[in-house]
Amino acid sequence: MAGRSVRAREWLFTTHPARAVVMAFAAVILLGTGLLALPVSAADGTATGLVTALFTATSAVCVTGLVVVDTGTYWSGLGEGVILALIQIGGFGIMTMASLLALLVSGRLRLRMQLTAQAETKSLGIGDVRRVLLGVAGTTLAVELAVGAVLSLRLRYGYGESIADAVYLGYFHAVSAFNNAGFGLHPDSLTRYAEDPWITLPVAAAVILGGLGFPVLLELLRHRYRRRSTGRRNWTLHTRLTLVTTLALLAVGTVLTCALEWTNAGTLGPQDWSEKLLSGFFHSAMSRTAGFNSLDIGAMHPSTLLLTCMLMFIGGGSAGTAGGIKVGTFAVLAVAIIAEVRGEPNSAVLGRRLAPHVLRQALTVALLGVGLVMSATLALLSLTSLPFEAVLFETVSAFGTVGLSTGITADFSDAGQLILVLLMFVGRLGPVTLVSALALRERVRRYELPEERPVIG
């Protein structure tokens, strides 16, 4: 029996570190569910139903933002504190947090802990883990403190909030924004601040920075100091691809949102042109896995909902707080399509040739994402009579860990909410991570089969 126990622990923690990440996320979700189910976590002092507590805990740990009860009115101060802690833990990464604590206590990392942290942060090598962990902690703290300070000052002097309320609201939304969680303390999210750039722009900046991914942020910071002495930029392909694709998606999302909703009386119609541009940009940024909204999602045209679904499915950068299939995956697939249309033998972008296994990984992630979204949508449609476009929107939002909703989340039955819980969990960890974590072993083929080409198209 002892031998079996040792082998089980080795299978979980050493054979593939991704398994430990999956188990750690599941453990924290269960812990959060237990805490939120306690009577003291609810504002009225009654125990919360298990499904509601599980849904909220999963949404917080997976930094999604979908809710079945209003965060600012249903939960007590303790409940809101638990949600905020779960958001921070989920965004920072369970294994990253554990590795950082071990680093601070002992001053060094064991090999197993380094492997686990590498799986979570996607750092390039074992020797990079210590620097990555410290950089992640410093970047998270700096952005959240800066954005929280701006929001607190604006709420205090622009809206007359008390000092305590302004600080609490400011830093709650700052943490939620940088971690791309989308949890807010107002029933209407941020629609009351739709025309206020001192609220929406800091929130959007935090969302974009968190969605770029920690490898990109750390590389930008490193080369910022390096350029002072050398005057040269030497960004990796991952960083350049992430930045270019992110800027392109932000621009396209802003332009199309404004074009589609410009005269809609329920969204952009009543605003002047500058406010429309601000709201269009904010919606484009939030559609990339944040979950805050300054416009009424339920009042948008179906064409805008479809555009938002596409942005939510793509998501943000790898190894960050964003969900979706990631902008790198989308960019690689786009490059592969262009190369195939041109008849080129290899896929190349920004002066670099893409390795064949990168293309296979991108295709795997995208097709698994499509399969999960379609399967969940079909299952939800069989459980409810809600409109197809609203159900699809909710499904993509859960998979992309976005949190935007047309307002139907609470209308699903317990079975429907559990389907969304599973989608949020898979969307946060990534289809490939989850599949690799469940694999019992990896096999290496030591021979090649004869090549043959089937008919395509």
The pLDDT tens digits of the residues spanning 421-432 come to: 999 998 888 765
Q: What are the tens digits of pLDDT across the range 155-166? A: 999 999 999 999
What is the per-residue pLDDT for 236?
A: 80
What is the per-residue pLDDT for 431?
A: 64
What is the per-residue pLDDT for 310?
A: 94
57-71, 119-133, 196-210, 442-456, range with the lowest pLDDT = 119-133
Mean pLDDT, to the nearest integer, of 356-375? 88
**Predicted TM-score (pTM) of this structure:** 0.87
Residue 404 has pLDDT above 80, yes or no: yes
Identify the top-confidence range among 109-113, 118-122, 344-348.
Answer: 344-348
Q: Which tops the pLDDT comparison, 115 or 421?
A: 421
92, two tokens: 């920072």
Q: Which tops the pLDDT comparison, 239 or 446?
A: 239
Q: What are the tens digits of pLDDT across the range 303-341? A: 999 999 999 999 888 777 788 888 988 999 998 888 888
151, two tokens: 């929001």
What is the per-residue pLDDT for 423?
A: 93
d(CA 442, CA 431): 17
d(CA 226, CA 21): 33
13-27, 225-239, 351-365, 397-411, range with the lowest pLDDT = 225-239
Q: Which tops the pLDDT comparison, 174 or 213?
A: 174
415 falls in which pLDDT band (50, 70, 90)?
very high
What is the per-residue pLDDT for 365?
A: 86
Q: Which residues pair with 42 in a beta bridge?
A: 75
Q: Which tops the pLDDT comparison, 442 or 29?
A: 29
- Mean pLDDT, all residues of the chain: 84
**Distance set, CA 178 to CA 64, 203, 207 (Å):** 12, 8, 5
What single-letter amino acid sits at 50?
L
Q: Which tops the pLDDT comparison, 217 or 67?
A: 67
Residue 195 has pLDDT above 70, yes or no: yes
What is the per-residue pLDDT for 361?
A: 81
Residue 445 has pLDDT above 50, yes or no: yes
Mean pLDDT, to the nearest integer, of 372-382? 95
Mean pLDDT, to the nearest integer, of 24-28? 89
What is the per-residue pLDDT for 432?
A: 56
Residue 105 has pLDDT above 50, yes or no: no
Mean pLDDT, to the nearest integer, of 109-131? 57
Residue 9 has pLDDT above 60, yes or no: no
